[in-house]
Amino acid sequence: MTPTLLPDAPPAGDGAIRRPSVYGSWPEMTYAGVLSFLRRTYTRDIGGADVVVSGIPLDLATTYRPGARLGPAAIRAASVQLAELKPFPWGFDPSETLAVVDAGDCWLDPHHPHTIPGAIRDHARRILASGARMLTLGGDHYITYPLLQAHAERFGAPLALIHFDAHCDTWPDDSPDSLNHGTMFYKAVREGLIDPAHSVQIGIRTWNDDFMGLHVLDAPSVHARGAEWALQQVLSIVGDRAAYVTFDIDCLDPAHAPGTGTPVAGGLSSAQALHIVRGLVPLHLVGMDVVEVAPPYDHADITALAAAHVACDLLCVLAAQRRARR
């Protein structure tokens, strides 16, 4: 049967599936069209990509409110405004410098939870083997553990960890098969995936008797000393080490990010967090994720929007690094 095709349309709209190049942008109706992160090409063909965006829709590891499985879709939807103009304050379109594609979501079988860690590791291994960097949209924070395993294999262990969160996620857990979004970095330290001496946690405001040697810039310290102080601490601690960035959206105060599973009062503002993220350009970033957006608890999409801003700024950090090398 001969397919019936729509007549040729102008070079505008549905760029995720129509734009002929993985570079650049074209006009979109902000409120319509095929969704991908920042309207990037939606494809499983990642050859030649500099950065691969993908979602990991998991929330089986939550200890309180589920819902983060809907996070990747919400972040993509919230990103449409950011694709409309050059991101502030960068003044350039990262897609003019980096080949960024959206490869969709990692396939998970929620009815066989024991298969999930391996599925995430294999998903990451395939992307990293292509030579691309990963920008991953969660999903609950457990996903960072198998992602770290894959990144440590690719870039060498131990990595430096830059961790934005209300929770330290280093509570003891010696069960190798547990799915728990509060113990990943306990395991990562014990397994030598991350180096505590060159790792830093920002925005912490929950207690743990043992922070396992990681540097902690708790939320009160950031409020008292400022975001620029926190940024300088991060740059000094991480130094020239290969670093992985993980941003749990509950690092932000619930006033700025209500749509998350375990909100904690007293957190960073969007402005404080974005200032720190935007200052990471001097560092050697090998991977990054934004996690714990739970749309059922959000209001007017402000949590998803904050997450989309963080993810966009992380892309801009990589683009700024590339531009500086030219």
Q: How many CB atoms lie within 10 A of CB 84?
A: 14
Alpha-carbon distances of 311 from 192, 225, 274, rounded to whole Å = 27, 25, 10
Q: Is 169 marked as binding a ligand?
A: yes
Stretch 130-153: mean pLDDT: 98
- Could you give the C-alpha distances from 229 to 175, 201, 248, 313, in angstroms and in order? 37, 14, 20, 19
> Is the confidence at residue 4, as pLDDT, over 90?
no
Across residues 163-191, what is the average pLDDT?
A: 94
Domain count within the chain: 1
144, part of any domain? yes
Q: Is residue 23 part of a domain?
A: no
Instruction: Determine, yes or no, domain membership for 78.
Output: yes
Residues 6+ apart with CB under 8 A from 21: none
Q: Indicate whether 155 belongs to any domain.
A: yes
What average pLDDT does range 201-223 have in this prediction? Answer: 97
How far apart CA 91 and CA 200 sit, in angstroms, is: 29
Decide if 9 is inside a domain: no
Residues of the domain holding 145 = 46-325
- Phi/psi of residue 186, each to 5°? -60, -50
d(CA 26, CA 115): 40
Q: Do residues 193 and 157 make contact, with C-beta atoms less than 8 angstroms apart?
A: yes
pLDDT, tens digit, 9 for 90 and up, residues 89-106: 999 999 999 999 999 999
Distance CA 293, CA 298 (A): 8
Q: What angle do CA 4, 7, 12 make, to 5 degrees?
A: 130
- Number of CB atoms found within 10 A of residue 7's CB: 4
Q: Is 167 annotated as a binding residue?
A: yes
pLDDT at residue 284 above 90? yes
Between 131-145, 172-186, 268-282, the lowest mean confidence (pLDDT) is in: 172-186
Question: Is 248 annotated as a binding-site member?
Answer: yes
Q: Is residue 8 part of a domain?
A: no
According to the model, what pLDDT value does residue 12 have?
A: 87
β-strand pairing of 41-42 with 100-105 = parallel
123 lies in a domain? Answer: yes
| Residue 5 confidence (pLDDT) above 70 | no
Q: Is 141 annotated as a binding residue?
A: yes
Question: What's the rounded mean pLDDT across residues 287-308?
Answer: 98
- Judge whether 301 is annotated as a binding position: no
Return the CATH number at 258.
3.40.800.10
pTM assigned to the model: 0.96
Q: Is residue 320 part of a domain?
A: yes
